[in-house]
Amino acid sequence: MATEDSPTSTDRAVAGAKTLDNGIRVLKAIAGSSDGLTTTEVARAVGVHRTVAYRLLTTLREHSLVTQGADSTFRLGIGVVELSSLLRSDLRSAAQPHMRRLAETTRATVHLTVRDGEDAVGIALVMPTDSDMHVAYRVGRRYPLSVGAAGLAILAGNPPIDGERPEVTSGRSTGYVTSHGEIQSGAWGLAAPLTGGTDPADVSVGVVGFGDFDEAQTARHVLAAAAAIRLAGR
């Protein structure tokens, strides 16, 4: 029986939710650092005491979600990769051959991107094998939907909203969206939403590269890939 001074089930649930929230924030803080973070830096980034940060990092390390290097910094562990590999695995499997064909045809980096709230997140990537220079692109990379061709294409596959970018509006009629230097300086991007019937899009496929490109020709290849992936994913 709970006494006035003993924790209730509600108290424990609240504490557990707070711990989970802190653990997620720790993972996000580490993911946002290219050089890794020490325990003290994690505590500062999350806003918790160093002892709390240490306990969280220990638990995450036990599940291989973080790893600690010889320099005492923490980085994301293999467990994160294992979890991410399960994300939309059916869609990614269906898309892979068409993405590979698109990468070799356009000689550009191909990405499959999904909507997560107000962000666009890359879940699959194929780089061309016959290209002297291509854009480096990281699976799991996150940025606002309103920036870059991949996110804008997803918005173009949804109903109009007030204040949307002109590229989104025009993308509904052309079927694709282009961008220049928004995610990476000097790079161009072209992406198309994966839509079916009246369903809104939450996925796009696109290419990104450097230098000059033939927009009309590239658009034809991307639109064909989008249609093929949509059919394969049914």
Asked if 207 and 95 sit in the same domain, the reply is yes
Instruction: State the CATH number of the domain containing residue 124.
Output: 3.30.450.40
pLDDT at position 2 over 60: no
Residue-wise pLDDT for 76-102, tens only, equals 886 775 565 555 677 788 888 999 999
Q: Is residue 70 part of a domain?
A: yes
Chain-wide mean pLDDT for the chain? Answer: 84
Burial of 110 (0-12, 13-18, 19+ CB in 10 A): buried
If one compares 231 and 40, the residue with the highest pLDDT of the two is 40
Give every CB contact of residue 56 below 8 A, 6+ residues apart in sequence.
Answer: 19, 22, 23, 26, 42, 48
pLDDT at position 56 over 90: yes
Structural domain span for residue 55: 9-79
Question: What are the tokens at 232?
Answer: 């394969």
Question: Dmax over Cα atoms in the chain, in whole Å?
Answer: 73
Asked if 110 and 151 sit in the same domain, the reply is yes
**Could you give the number of structural domains in the chain?**
2
Asked if 17 and 104 sit in the same domain, the reply is no
Asked if 112 and 167 sit in the same domain, the reply is yes
Residue-wise pLDDT for 152-209, tens only, equals 999 999 999 999 999 999 999 999 999 998 888 888 999 999 975 445 678 999 999 8
Asked if 153 and 64 sit in the same domain, the reply is no
Give the whole-number percent of the chain exceeding pLDDT 90. 45
Give the whole-number percent of the chain exceeding pLDDT 70. 82
Helix (H, G, I), strand (E, B) or coil at 55: helix
pLDDT for the residue 204: 93
Cα atoms found within 13 Å of the Cα of residue 135, Cβ hemisphere only = 25
